[in-house]
Amino acid sequence: MMISPLLVAVGVLIVVRDARSWLDAFILALGVVAALLTFERWTANDVFRLAVPCLLVSAGVWVYGALVAGTGTAFYGLSLVGPHIIPQLSRLRGLAAVGLVAFVAAVGATRMLLVHEDLPEGLINWVVLPAGITAVVTGLMFPNKRFYGVVKDLEEARDREAELAVVRERMRFASDLHDIQGHTLHVVKLKISLAQKLVRTDADRAEEELREIHALVADTIAQTKELAYAQRRLNLSAELENAKNLFEAAGIDVRVDREAEVDAQASELLGQVLRETTTNILRHAQAGQVRITLSKSGITILNDGAPDAPLPELSGLSTLRERVAGDGGELTVEQKDGTFLTAAAFPHLRPQGAR
């Protein structure tokens, strides 16, 4: 950090100016080192690891400087160590701050009593300045603690948001993978059953079904690669044509009504809704008819053959509901009187005046 070089420079200046012997220089340097270690641990949010040793060393340096070396700046280390530790205490911070200032003042006062310093000058040099500077630095560190606490909370919030973004992306990827491979597997299952029925009665048609299965699997492999490299985009027109072919292959009468051209902003999500619904109809319903209605801002798929009992949880549609809602849309699923309705709409894309 930018402050560290400044702390080192001030500490070196004190040692060079006030040390009268190598012993003085060594002891004063210990106070500077204790201050730097405490500051480094404080920036790492781990100040208590070296708190006790640094406090003892810096306090000892002040005692030595005041009572032995006659160095009034020896409180430098203690004036940094104490203020960085005390605000981090869980309780009795105020009492600890008063005790720190009182200790600094008491050592200075003891120096005056032992050496008989001139009262006004000695009081300022050994009591007022050391205790006052220590008190000011300690007082400044209390709001500093709150500031760094807020910064830490913001950093943790950003970290949590980043983790949530990763989770959402993984869920999106899993959902897309389900859309691609789950849909394909159900269609392959349907076509294989059809080919098995045709193999003895219509070999040419059975061979055609097998070719379509091969092409479908190859297309699925390509789509999976595109998904892995974030290149996959669904095409609503292609999904519509695919759904028609699948329904017709399954003997289901399908009707498509286009009320308007679908807005490009909604095309991809509506393609996902159509693909998921197609899979659900082939898998869960005994449908004879399917009606698909397209508007500028949505799609509606209505099929008969829905069982009277409630359908099992359709996890694919549940995931799509969240996606559609995330883009400002609404996904509706209704089961009534043997019919099943799936509708997705984006109200903000409707023409002005539309109801």
* pLDDT at residue 154 in the model: 60
Task: Name the token pair of 53.
Answer: 């040793």
Q: Tell me the average pLDDT of the chain.
A: 80
* pLDDT at residue 56 in the model: 93
Name the least confident of 32-36, 163-167, 282-286. 163-167
Per DSSP, helices labelled H in 19-92 are 22-43, 51-64, 76-85
Cα gap 246→268, rounded to integer Å: 20
Beta bridge pairs of residue 342: 301, 333
Q: Which residue has the higher pLDDT, 75 or 45?
A: 75
* pLDDT at residue 106 in the model: 93
- Residues 214-237, mean pLDDT to the nearest whole number: 70
- CA 166 from centre of chain: 7
- Residues 84-96, mean pLDDT to the nearest whole number: 84
In this predicted model, what pLDDT tens digit does every residue of 56-66 receive, in sequence order?
999 999 999 88
* pLDDT at residue 354 in the model: 43
* pLDDT at residue 350 in the model: 56
- Residues 222-236, mean pLDDT to the nearest whole number: 63
Q: Which residue has the higher pLDDT, 79 or 151?
A: 79
Question: How many CB atoms are located within 10 Å of the residue 123 CB?
Answer: 15
What is the SS3 assignment for 344? strand
In this prediction the pTM is 0.44
In this predicted model, what pLDDT tens digit does every residue of 326-342 receive, in sequence order?
888 899 988 888 899 99
- Residues 87-104, mean pLDDT to the nearest whole number: 87
Q: How confident is the model at residue 83 (pLDDT cuts 50, 70, 90)?
A: confident
Contact 273, 321 (CB under 8 A): no
Contact 125, 78 (CB under 8 A): no
* pLDDT at residue 230 in the model: 46
Q: How confident is the model at residue 202 (pLDDT cuts 50, 70, 90)?
A: confident
In this predicted model, what pLDDT tens digit does every residue of 142-187 receive, in sequence order?
765 554 455 456 656 655 765 665 566 566 667 667 766 777 777 7
- Residues 301-321, mean pLDDT to the nearest whole number: 77
Name the least confident of 8-12, 76-80, 169-173. 169-173
* pLDDT at residue 301 in the model: 94
